[in-house]
Amino acid sequence: MLNFKESLKNIPKPIRLFLGKALLFFVVWKLAYGFYFSHTKVLDYPLTKHVGEASTYLLNNFSPMSGFTVERTVGTFYIGEELVEGGVSSQIFHNDYLVLHIADNCNGLELLVLFIGFIICMPSSFWRKVLYIVIGCIIIDFVNILRCMGLIYLREYYHAYFDFAHHYLFKAAVYTCTFLMWMYFSRKISFKNENLQVG
C-alpha cells in the first residue's frame, strides 16, 4: 500500500488531476447509464434510429446500390455470443432481405461518451472544448454510419470478409479516428502553472 502511495506521488500533479477527473467521469457515467439511461433509452433509442436511417438514406441516394429500408424492432436477438431479450434495434433490409442488424450497443454511444469525457477532463478553455466536442461527435457519428454502410457492402458483395471487418477492421478504423482527434486536441494543452505542448 505504501509503495502504491509513493508511486502515486511520483506521477506529476497535472497527470494525477486528469486521471482523477477521468475516473470520476467514468464512474458517474456508468452509474447514470446503469440506473437510468439503459432503461429509459432516451439516448440509445434516437441514436440507433438515426444511424439506421442515415445509413439507409446514404445507401439509397449516394451509392450505386438502392432498395434499402430500415425498421425499428423490439425482440430477442444475438449480439455475438450474447443473447439480448427485449432488445431494441434498427434492422436494415435490402429488397426485403435483412442485411444488417444495428443494436443499441453498436450505435456509437459509448465511443461518443469516451470522446467527450477525454475532452472534458483535459485542461483547455471552455469554448475550445465545446467546439471539439461538437465537431468530434459529428465526425464519430459519420464514421460510424460509414462503418455500417461498409458492413452492408461487404455483406452483399464480399461476405467472406464481413466478420473480420465487423469485429476488427472497422472497429480499429473508428477508434483510430477518435484517437487522432484526441491527439489533435492535445497538441497544446495548458495547465495552471505550466504549458505542455504535444507534437
Domain boundaries, given as residue ranges, for the chain: 14-64+104-188
As a whole-number percent, the residues of the chain with pLDDT over 90 amount to: 59
**Amino acid letter, 156:** E
Q: Are 61 and 90 in contact (CB under 8 A)?
A: no
Helix runs in 122-169, H state only? 126-157, 162-164
| Closest residue by Cα to residue 52 from 95, 92, 84, 88 | 92
C-alpha cell of residue 98: 435483412
103-130 pLDDT tens trace: 888 899 999 999 999 999 998 899 999 9
Tens digit of each residue's pLDDT (9 = 90 or more) over 92-102: 999 988 899 89
- Give CA–CA dist 109/143, Å, rounded: 13
**Can you give the pTM of this predicted structure?**
0.84
